Amino acid sequence: MFLFVVLFLVGVSFCFALEEDNSSNGSMDSTEMASNAKSAIMIEASTGKILYEKNKDEKLPMASMTKMMTLLLIMEEIDAGRLKWDEMITTSEHAASMGGSQIFLEVGEKMSVEDLVKGICIASGNDASVAMAERIGGTEEKFVVLMNKKAEKLGLSNTHFENACGLDSDNHYSSANDMSVIARELVKHKKILEFSGIYEDYLRKNTEKSFWLVNTNKLVRYYQGVDGLKTGYTKKAGYCITTTAKRSNMRLITVVMGEPSSAVRNRETTEMLNYGFNTYEVSTLIDEKVKLKKQKVLLGKKDSVEIVPLSSVKILNSKSSEKRNVRYQLEMKKIKAPVKVGDEVGKVLLIEDGKVIEEIGVTVKENVEKLNLLMVYYQEFLGMMRGGV
């Protein structure tokens, strides 16, 4: 019996891999994709350009894809220094009571933030999600308020959250487009991709309660370049998945919602990714480390500072067309100290065929502190002395 199961699983793995190979010739028309999904979208992550869409703004239940917003808020807490990876979180009765997919937390059990996030990313743990929501918001309800505020800040007009893990609720919904926006923000946090790209791992390792984690996203194992991001299923939502994959210097994000089965969900996602990678490529116009110019700083302890883009400036090209002729133009504001890295002090205008097609912010390469009043007078005095010589 054991041998039969092993042979069956090997056969499934082989067939799935073969399906990717046979469908990677790029012959599929984009209009044929995601035919079974209620809603779908594919974007290129660095530019945000939409490569394919189907009912992208339709409001639908999104099941555990909800957890992408939960993870985004967790990462922002870590970035702000209000949460540490090694902090131990105590499981409440409410968190432990979550049904559905879980890592089987017990009331009073302590687990590190890192392991809880791993449990969310790999096993889609509802209990882990709620435990983290309570740590950040105080209660799950207050955390949900933060989720909706973040959705509003991101301009997500077709999204509303009622819980932190994605259980069905009448007023809990999103759209494929909104899910792709959240995913695009989330993939900026490379640590998440380290977790969501793991196929299998363990929690409570070397204990009597060791728990085997197997990624709910099988594409992580079977599709080249996939390193996330989040599956979802409830009876109301159907089968959903937000997937991200990177090949060369291009990262794609796909979303399908309301699929009839996990097999169809994975197949149609694979077809979308094949189409995207076979049809498009990304070129870097300006690397984020490139020094664009040196700019004068008013009332600063330094007279001038190097200007760099806030992010790499990339251009999406169709492989079947000529490379686009895009140039850039720098527009600067006056810089007055204090100014720090990340402050937007101007913008790069991307110009194609005489039209501005995009704007990217620029910032300073290093922090510049403000001169104190005594130093201002001293500089003015030196200037007067030099002028008199």
State the CATH number of the domain containing residue 292.
2.60.410.10
**Average pLDDT for 209-227:** 96
**Average pLDDT for 326-333:** 93
Q: Which pLDDT score, from 0 to 100, does residue 388 have? A: 59
Residue 302 falls inside a structural domain = yes
Q: Which pLDDT score, from 0 to 100, does residue 382 have? A: 65
Spatial distance between the Cα atoms of 122 and 196, rounded to a whole number of angstroms: 6
Residue 13 falls inside a structural domain = no
Nearest to 367 by CA among 334, 332, 346, 343: 343
Q: Which pLDDT score, from 0 to 100, does residue 214 have? A: 95
Average pLDDT, the chain: 90
377 and 358 within one domain: yes
152-211 tens-digit pLDDT: 999 999 999 999 999 999 999 999 999 999 999 999 999 999 999 999 999 998 888 899
Residue 222 falls inside a structural domain = yes
Q: Which pLDDT score, from 0 to 100, does residue 3 have? A: 35
Spatial distance between the Cα atoms of 124 and 136, rounded to a whole number of angstroms: 18
The SS3 assignment for 178 reads helix
Q: Which of 227, 261, 282 is the last residue of a domain?
A: 282
Q: Which pLDDT score, from 0 to 100, does residue 206 have? A: 86
268-287 tens-digit pLDDT: 999 999 999 999 999 998 98
311 and 189 within one domain: no
Spatial distance between the Cα atoms of 70 and 218, rounded to a whole number of angstroms: 22
**Percent of the chain at pLDDT exceeding 70:** 89
Q: Which of 282, 304, 324 is the last residue of a domain?
A: 282
Q: Residue 366: CB partners within 8 Å, gap ≥ 6?
A: 305, 306, 341
pLDDT at 147 over 80: yes
| 312 compared with 38, residue with greater pLDDT | 38
**What is the band of 289 on the pLDDT scale with cuts at 50, 70, 90?**
confident
Residue 22 falls inside a structural domain = no
pLDDT at 262 over 70: yes
Q: Which of 230, 262, 282 is the last residue of a domain?
A: 282
**Average pLDDT for 222-246:** 97
DSSP state of 36: T
Cβ proximity of 67 and 241 under 8 Å: no
333 and 200 within one domain: no
292 and 277 within one domain: no
Q: Residue 384: CB partners within 8 Å, gap ≥ 6?
A: none
Count of C-beta atoms within a 10 Å radius of residue 211: 18
274 and 324 within one domain: no
Q: What pTM, to 2 d.p., does this model score?
A: 0.85
pLDDT at 329 over 70: yes
Nearest to 136 by CA among 65, 222, 76, 47: 76
Spatial distance between the Cα atoms of 54 and 237, rounded to a whole number of angstroms: 17
**Average pLDDT for 357-373:** 91
- 255: domain CATH number? 3.40.710.10
Q: Which pLDDT score, from 0 to 100, does residue 1 have? A: 38
Residue 4 falls inside a structural domain = no
110 and 181 within one domain: yes
| Residue ranges making up the domain that contains 341 | 287-388
Cβ proximity of 150 and 73 under 8 Å: yes
pLDDT at 379 over 80: no
pLDDT at 306 over 70: yes
SS (H, E, C) 271-306: HHHHHHHHHEEEEEEECCCCCCEEEEEECECCCEEE
329 and 271 within one domain: no
111-120, 320-329, 346-355: which has the highest mean pLDDT?
Answer: 111-120
Q: Residue 321: CB partners within 8 Å, gap ≥ 6?
A: none
Nearest to 131 by CA among 168, 169, 90, 190: 90
**Average pLDDT for 368-380:** 74
Q: Which tokens sit at 144?
A: 């949900």
Residue 109 falls inside a structural domain = yes
240 and 327 within one domain: no
Cα-based distances in Å from 363 to 301, 334, 343: 17, 12, 6
203 and 269 within one domain: yes
48-98 tens-digit pLDDT: 999 999 999 999 999 999 999 999 999 999 999 999 999 999 999 999 999
Residue 17 falls inside a structural domain = no
Residue 249 falls inside a structural domain = yes
Count of C-beta atoms within a 10 Å radius of residue 264: 17
Catalytic residues: 64, 67, 124
297 and 259 within one domain: no
Count of C-beta atoms within a 10 Å radius of residue 359: 10
Q: Which pLDDT score, from 0 to 100, does residue 229 have? A: 97
Q: Which pLDDT score, from 0 to 100, does residue 12 have? A: 39
Biggest alpha carbon–alpha carbon distance for the chain: 99
**Percent of the chain at pLDDT exceeding 90:** 79
**Bond into 309 cis (ω within 30):** no
**What is the band of 100 on the pLDDT scale with cuts at 50, 70, 90?**
very high
**Average pLDDT for 339-367:** 94
Q: Name the domain count of the chain.
A: 2
Cβ proximity of 68 and 179 under 8 Å: yes
248 and 136 within one domain: yes
Q: Given strand 39-44, what is the order of strands in its sheet?
A: 50-54, 39-44, 250-259, 238-247, 226-234
261 and 217 within one domain: yes
**What is the band of 323 on the pLDDT scale with cuts at 50, 70, 90?**
confident
